[in-house]
Structure 1
């Protein structure tokens, strides 16, 4: 009797154990109620596509390269202005500073340059000189015209070389601008004053 009772109890335990294991297996295979396969995949450590950072968000914005202006390039004129501060040296105009008879010839001490930009409200643009002082020989019979202040007139007047020399000696270093022409020997044969202020 005891053996039969013990066997019956053992069989009951085995049945309960098997029933419990089957329930656990079903729960483990199916997962939590309402859970989808995608959710269980996320729980195992794989990242869902929706949570991955977008390439546009992760890439740092590129800054534009700095604009470099090479040294010596022309500066852009101000709006509405056509004045160019980098105009070439005038080929036939000079600022006359003094007279010298050195070497037994008549010579004018001059500086080359070009016309700058007139300031707002100014009557005329300045003649901007460049480089060192040099000289040009002038012929004794050169045709010369002048205006104020070399002569008391705002209209060009013919003068002699001696009149010009006398004025330059009395008023040195004023830098009055003259247009000149050279003969075949490189000597000034005509000289006309250009700037009156």
Structure 2
């Protein structure tokens, strides 16, 4: 009888183990995973948006272009024209003088004069300005020199002949007048022709 009871116990124990195993198999997933456990997540893949944001853009890395000095199609400013030059090249005219005074020093007739030329843009015509340069000097004048005069030495604007003594008298009474004259020197170095140039007031 004891052997029978032991056999029944063994059979019941085997049935219990089989029941436990069967119950576990029924509750398990079809893929063998444990019930209630979270499914493994797929590995994260970097999105294209995040990659683009991470890398600096090519346009941002390039330096801005330098502005050009002159835009295309725009003409450069034209430089101003040079100022007009004087109508004479020499500061001293070769045949002009400004009459200052008279002196008989050395036993001869001498005119104290200053040399010069017409001011820039002026000509030896009415209304012109004769500008002197340098120091005063004297030039001898011949007794027989041909002299013509106009106003203010004589009345009127037309040149008229006068004698050397008439000229000396007027210059002595009106020193430093600065009247312009055109002159010519003879072979002896003395003035043989002297013509006053009329200047309007």
2:178 counterpart of 1:175: yes
Aligned residue pairs, count = 162
Which is higher, the Rg of structure 1 or of structure 2? 2
Residues in 2 aligned to 1:183 and 1:14: alpha-carbon distance in whole angstroms: 139
Contact (CA 8 Å) 2:157, 2:198: kept in 1 or not?
A: no
Q: Secondary structure at the match of 1:96?
A: strand
TM-score by length of 2: 0.64
Instruction: Please provide the CA RMSD for this pair.
Output: 3.7
Q: CA deviation at 1:190?
A: 0.5
Give the equivalent residue in structure 2 for 1:84. 86
Q: Secondary structure at the match of 1:168?
A: helix
Q: CA deviation at 1:103?
A: 2.1
Residues in 1 aligned to 2:198 and 2:60: alpha-carbon distance in whole angstroms: 79
2:128 counterpart of 1:125: yes
Structure 2 unmatched ranges of 5 or more: 1-19, 71-75
Indicate which of 42, 54, 57 corresponds to 1:21: 42
Q: Secondary structure at the match of 2:152?
A: coil
Q: Secondary structure at the match of 2:39?
A: helix
Q: CA deviation at 1:76?
A: 1.8
Residues in 2 aligned to 1:111 and 1:175: alpha-carbon distance in whole angstroms: 8
Q: Deviations over 1:78-119 (max 9, x none)?
A: xxxxx837653322111101011122221111111222356x
The 5 Å alignment of 1:58-73 reads 58-59=66-67, 61=69
Give the equivalent residue in structure 2 for 1:72. none
Indicate which of 23, 37, 51 corresponds to 1:40: 51
Indicate which of 142, 153, 178 corresponds to 1:139: 142
Residues in 2 aligned to 1:50 and 1:184: alpha-carbon distance in whole angstroms: 91
